[in-house]
Amino acid sequence: MEDVAAAASVSIATISHVINGTRNVSDPVRERVLRAIDELGYEVNPIARNLRKGSSQIVGLVVSNLANYFYTDLAAGVESILRPAGYDTHIINSNESLERETRNVRDLALQSADGIILAPTGNDCSYLQDATFQNQPFVFVDRKPRRSGHDSVMSTNFKGSYEAVNHLLSKGHARIGFIASRSNETMMERFSGYRQALSDSGVAPEEELVLMGQDEPKTLKNLLRAERYSQLENYLETARPTGIFLGNGLAAVGVFQYLRDNGIRVPEDIALLSFDDEFWYQMSTPQISAVAQDPYQIGVVAAERLLKRMRGGTGKYRTIRIKTRLILRESC
């Protein structure tokens, strides 16, 4: 900076002001400065700037599982808002590990991310009570931790499930199963939609139609046949569903494979409809119907919310819902 100042025969203050447009500079001076900057190939050092300004212009996006279009699209939505606002989005993957999540969020907060968008691994975000995290705004996506004191943005889980199960009912299914890979609050919303749809149609709920575990979360990748697979033989025998509503894409893997391996035809023997729209639903035989979320939009809204907070906005913390869409394919 000094070199540039010398080359343009001005003070370093002027350099700063030219760069940041933070006060009037006469045309000839500005031009000299710009030329000097160009000739010397000068670039501001963001670390020094951040130290001085007390902000980093970085927003952390901590997701539980990157290997999922949901989060990739979400990230794109976030960036579409944050980039024009002058923020860099840094994605960090916690791979469904609470320990990694905690560490990541902590590192990010310490690195002075100006804000953090967080897709929590589980319900437990108590680590956020820590003093370290009182300095920057948070927005939750996809999952809403208990008593958070933060904004959160998520899908219309109840309504999406309600409509999906209604569709199954309208196709004449009376025994509709609910299978999910685990039961966090988001999943409970989907479960409620399922229950409500049944009861609104006068169908009595049955315990044995529900298969929902407390399993440790797993990633699609290492999951093959693990999730739910082994419990299915028993389940199908006792519950005898003619249709199954899958609470998420993770559960779909095991169920789909079990049915295929055992020659149970879809949709003839059992109809399938899944919350989440995984890529492979279009590659499988039959292609699988799904309740598609709109992760891009979730990202957009979350980023807007965060932006507002980072700019000092206050106001009540809200939970914002983004609409889902029912996509009918061959499985029901």
Q: Is 317 in the site for a copy of itself (CB under 8 A)?
A: no
Structure tokens, 319: 């939970």
Binding string, 44-83, against DNA, x = CB under 7 A?
xx--xx-xxxx-----------------------------
Q: Which of 107, 233, 261, 269 binds a copy of itself (CB under 8 A)?
A: 107
CA gap 189, 70 in Å, rounded: 18
Residue type, 324: T
Q: Long-range contacts of range 213-217, CB-CB < 8 Å, 24 or more positions apart?
A: 213/180, 213/181, 213/182, 213/183, 214/182, 214/183, 215/181, 215/182, 217/64, 217/96, 217/121, 217/122, 217/181, 217/182, 217/250
What is the C-alpha to C-alpha distance for residues 139 and 126, in angstroms, rounded to an integer? 15
Q: 């999540």: which residue's tokens?
A: 101
Question: Which positions from 23 through 42 interact with a copy of itself, judged by CB under 8 A?
Answer: 41
Residue of 7, 19, 73, 213 that binds a copy of itself (CB under 8 A): 73
Smaller CB distance to DNA: residue 132 or 282? 132
Q: Which residue is it, tokens 């990739």?
A: 72
Strand 289-292 and strand 325-327: pairing? antiparallel
Q: How many residues bind a copy of itself (CB under 8 A)?
A: 44
User: Is residue 45 at the binding interface for a copy of itself, with CB under 8 A as the rule?
Assistant: yes
Closest to 19 in 3D by CA, of 7, 89, 5, 6? 5
Helix (H, G, I), strand (E, B) or coil at 21: coil
**What would the two tokens of residue 158 be?**
């109840």
HSE-CB at 289 with a 13 A cutoff on CA atoms is 24
CB 106 within 8 A of CB 62: no
Does 282 contact a copy of itself by CB under 8 A?
Answer: yes
Q: Which stretch binds a copy of itself (CB under 8 A): 29-37, 190-198, 278-286, 301-309?
A: 278-286
CB-nearer residue toward DNA: 12 or 174: 12
Q: Report the partner that residue 220 touches, choosing among DNA, a copy of itself, none (CB closer than 5 to 8 A by kind).
A: a copy of itself
Of residues 252-271, which lie at the interface with a copy of itself (CB under 8 A)? 253, 256-257, 260
- 87 to each of 107, 139, 319, how far by Cα in Å? 18, 15, 24
145 vs 137: CA distance, rounded Å? 15
Closer Cβ to a copy of itself, 200 or 261, answer by number: 261
Residue 22, binding choice from DNA, a copy of itself, none, Cβ under 5 to 8 Å by partner class: DNA
Count the residues of the shown chain that bind DNA, applying the rule CB under 7 A. 29
Tell me: does residue 110 bind DNA (CB under 7 A). Answer: no
User: Which residue reads 């609050």 in tokens?
Assistant: 185
Among 1, 7, 29, 67, indicate the residue that binds a copy of itself (CB under 8 A).
67
Does 20 engage in binding with DNA (CB under 7 A)?
yes
User: Applying CB under 8 A, does 204 fall inside the site for a copy of itself?
Assistant: no
Q: For binding to a copy of itself (CB under 8 A), which residues are involved?
A: 41, 43-48, 50-51, 56, 58, 66-67, 69, 72-73, 75-76, 88-93, 95, 107, 110-112, 131-132, 220-221, 224, 253, 256-257, 260, 279-280, 282-285
| Interacting residues with DNA (CB under 7 A) | 1, 9-17, 19-20, 22-26, 28-30, 43-45, 48-49, 51-54
